[in-house]
Each structure stands twice: as structure tokens, then as C-alpha cells.
Amino acid sequence: DADVTQTPRNRITKTGKRIMLECSQTKGHDRMYWYRQDPGLGLRLIYYSFDVKDINKGEISDGYSVSRQAQAKFSLSLESAIPNQTALYFCATSDFSTGGSYEQYFGPGTRLTVT
Amino acid sequence: AQKVTQAQTEISVVEKEDVTLDCVYETRDTTYYLFWYKQPPSGELVFLIRRNSFDEQNEISGRYSWNFQKSTSSFNFTITASQVVDSAVYFCALSASNTGNQFYFGTGTSLTVIP
């Protein structure tokens, strides 16, 4: 089974609808992240969480919210979806130790289309 | 500010040719980490390598090699004897301790290996 899973894998929704993307991990990592990928723009950080009680905004948090329900679960919500939120969304996790920055492990991605 | 530049948007090579993907980074932090990820056509992001700022040794892993040069703020990736399976988008990323170890991704280089 995959270490980082995302549901749904594909979603088409209408403008104005609320939608939630879910991420679960079995790697035992404390840190979790949400990114969006747009063609030609690479990956941009939306939100990140270093533990259950720690939530931080990333580069492009406007229009999004997150919930860290448990160490293993991190959800991303679009309160009122708009077409320019059409993108590929990735969840990632990482381990961390004092003085180190470890690689991030990514889920398979969720392709979201807002019509 | 942290920034990663991958100036090569798209590269095409014929199978068995060598190819180098460039990555230039900017950071004022003295402790930072550099990463390469591969995104094949299937869409997942695969971690390839991590290098910290105190280790400028080049690394070789099979047909892959990485050249880290602090003097030019570059972390270039070379594929030797390219194969069709190397066709993918490759991302370089930077993580620095003074920004909470957030990842900053470049915009990616799309590599096509022609059989």
C-alpha cells in the first residue's frame, strides 16, 4: 500500500461549491504539506503543518483552509471553489530532526477541475 | 528570499546521449538543503537526491550524477546514456532553516528522450 494517499484522485466541481481533499500517511511523519501544481509554475506551497497543533500558511493560502485531524491526516478545503483553482494538488510528508531537513514524500496527486 | 531557477523549460535528446539539467538557487542562509525530484508522465513525484550545504561532494548513482557548486550556487543533474524511461519533468528544490525548512521548487525541466 502507498505510504501517502490522497482522495479523491480526480474531481470535477462547479464554481462556488465547497470541496475537501484528503491526505493520509502511514510513514509516521510529523510534517505534512499541501501544494498545487500548475503548468509552467512548478509546485507552490499552500499550507503546512509541523504537528497536530501547528498550522502555517504557505505562499498561496488565500481561498484555502486546512485541518490536521491527526498526525496521519491532513485535509485541504476550498470553501468556495473558483475556476483558477483548477490544478493538480499534492500532499507531502517529511520527517525532521534537529539540524536537518529531510526530503518530502508525495502522494499521487488530486486533479481538480472547477467549471 | 529563497529562489530556485531552472532556466531550461524543455530539453530533447536522442537516446544514449548525455544530458545536464541546470539548477541555480538563491538563499542567504548558510544551512540549506537541495533536492531533485522526478515527475514521470504518470504524475507522481519521485525523490532522487538530497544534498546539504556543508557537503559539496559530487554524487553518482548509476547513470545519474549531481554536481553541487556553492561558488556558482548551482546543483546540476546529469543523466548519462539517457533512456526513454528518463523522459519526465525534473524539479530542483531548496529548503533553508531560516524559513522553517519550507521547500521552494523550481519551475521544472521537461526532458524528452527520443528513441
A96 contacts in chain B (CB < 8 Å): 101
What torsion do the CA atoms of B30, B32, B34, B39 make, to the nearest 10 degrees?
A: -140
Give the separation between CA B87 and CA B89, rounded to whole angstroms: 7
Per-residue pLDDT 10s for chain A (115 aa) are 569 999 999 999 999 999 999 999 998 888 999 999 998 888 999 999 988 999 999 989 999 999 999 999 999 999 999 999 999 999 999 887 655 667 889 999 999 999 9
* Positive/negative CA dihedral, B114, A42, A79, A56: positive
Structure confidence at residue A100 (pLDDT): 62
**Chain B residue closest in CA terms to A40:** B107
Structure confidence at residue B56 (pLDDT): 82
Chain A nearest CA to B86, separation (Å)? 19
Give the separation between CA B55 and CA B89, rounded to whole angstroms: 26
Confidence band of B55 (pLDDT split at 50, 70, 90):
confident
Confidence band of B57 (pLDDT split at 50, 70, 90):
confident
What torsion do the CA atoms of B80, B83, B86, B88 make, to the nearest 10 degrees?
A: 120
A104 contacts in chain B (CB < 8 Å): 35, 47, 103
